[in-house]
Amino acid sequence: MYWKYCIRRIIYGFAIFVILIFIFSALFNATMENTLRSRIEEEIHTETMRLDTRMTPEELTRYIAERREFKQRLYHLDKPTWSRIFWRAFNVLSLDFGKATIMRSSSGEADVWIIIAECIPRTILLFTTAIFINIILGLWLGLKKAQRAGSLMDKTTSIGTMIVYGMPSWWLGMLVIMFFAYTVKIFPSGGLHSVPPPTGFAYYIDLYYHMTLPVLTLVAIGFWGSAFLIRNIVLGILQEDYIMAARTRGIPERKVLYGHAMRTAAPPIVTMALLSLLASVGGNIIFEGIFSWPGLGNLYWIAIEQNDIPVLMGNLFITTALYMGGLVILDLIYGFLDPRIKVGGKQ
């Protein structure tokens, strides 16, 4: 039964992704074609440079025209607009994003997919670590707040949540760099690792050392919100009748909290954790640029700076794919934790 639910959800998620890709292709069609056309011209130019110089000018123009026509047919540029949009979306879905105009991957390749693929794990590493620490701290504080709801501690920390509510994490990042990297020089100002990177075990130490500052910044802003949400979730549960019943039975408060309330609170808390991870991708990704953390967010900065449209587009498609994937996984986990969901529908 759960498997049926899983498969249905995955297919559904993929369908939405395909539709989104079509919409993006249609929306950005003109720009993408412009870059494609100028690339074709460039390719033809390099080809003619390598040609036999004994060609007459007429022959040369004919040759160029032929090559142009051939290339345009190759990239479906001679077809009507809707079919070009279709082919572009099809290419994206088969992970063919074309070649970058300026940017290169760390191994020097121009293939957009390779450039993006090497960034994905870095983004995931940074944000999952931050969210993980976030949730641990949020649980610790949120449970305390829920237990003593209305106390001074609860109130002041709630005010803390509101204070950081609209604070941009990248701004805090700038301040943190200014202080910890340039004034008190105890952390590196950015990057993934030192140059040249150390080998063996030291590599990981170095990586964590570089990760400390961005993760600290994300946690410093994020955990207030998670603590507040966890407090609300747990507080709502603590007011249920069965908690009252457990208390009247004389079960110790600790056991009520961790045994009874937490079991019910687990699904929404897991959802919240995943949702905040998704929110990081959807709203916080350029944070990486401040710390020059070479992930997907930093790629947006560089692609915009160098006006590299293929990379920008490819990055958008991959971010959307990750985001959709996250939403699907969220539903799958939720369905696993909360049996009521998967029964829903017609079954």
The residue ranges that bind other proteins (CB under 8 A) are 13, 16-17, 19-20, 27-28, 31, 149-150, 154, 158-159, 161-168, 170-172, 174-175, 177-178, 182-183, 232, 235-236, 239, 278, 281-286, 289-290, 300-301, 304, 309, 312-313, 315-316, 319-320, 322-324, 327
DSSP 234-254: HHHHHTSHHHHHHHHTT--HH
- By beta-carbon proximity to other proteins, the closer residue of 43 and 325 is 325
Give whichever of 1 and 152 is closer to other proteins, judged by the CB atom.
152
Is the Cβ–Cβ distance between 276 and 131 less than 8 Å? yes
Q: Name the minimum Å distance from CB 331 to other proteins.
A: 11
Q: Which is nearer to other proteins, 184 or 195 (CB)?
A: 184
Radius of gyration of the chain (CA): 26
Calpha distance 287→292 (Å, rounded):
9
CB of 198 to other proteins, least distance (A): 25
Using DSSP's 3-state secondary structure scheme, residue 327 falls into helix
Two structure tokens written together for 64: 């160029």
The CB-of-171 to other proteins minimum distance in angstroms stands at: 3
Question: At its nearest, how many Å lie between other proteins and the CB of residue 269?
Answer: 16
Select 44 or 146, whichever has its Cβ closest to other proteins: 146
CB closer to other proteins, 44 vs 290: 290
- Within 10 A of 34 (CB to CB), how many other CB atoms are there? 11
CA dihedral 276, 282, 288, 289 (to 10 degrees): -160
State which residue, 39 or 68, has the beta carbon closest to other proteins.
Answer: 39
How far apart, in whole angstroms, are the C-alpha atoms of residue 319 and residue 331?
A: 19
Of the candidates 231, 246, 238, 316, the one whose C-alpha atom is nearest the C-alpha of residue 281 is 316
Residue closer to other proteins by CB (options 215, 297) is 297
Cα–Cα distance between 220 and 43 in angstroms, integer?
A: 50
Q: In this complex, which beta carbon is closest to other proteins, that of residue 135 or of residue 316?
A: 316
Per the CB < 8 A criterion, the answer to whether 123 and 296 are in contact is yes
Min. distance of Cβ 33 from other proteins in angstroms?
12
Q: Work out how close the CB of 199 gets to other proteins at its nearest, in angstroms, rounded to a whole number.
A: 30
Q: How far is the CB of 141 from other proteins (least distance, A)?
A: 16
DSSP result, 86-104: HHHHHHHHTT---B-SS--
Taking the alpha carbons at both ends of the chain, their separation in whole angstroms is 9
Smallest gap from residue 235 Cβ to other proteins (A):
6
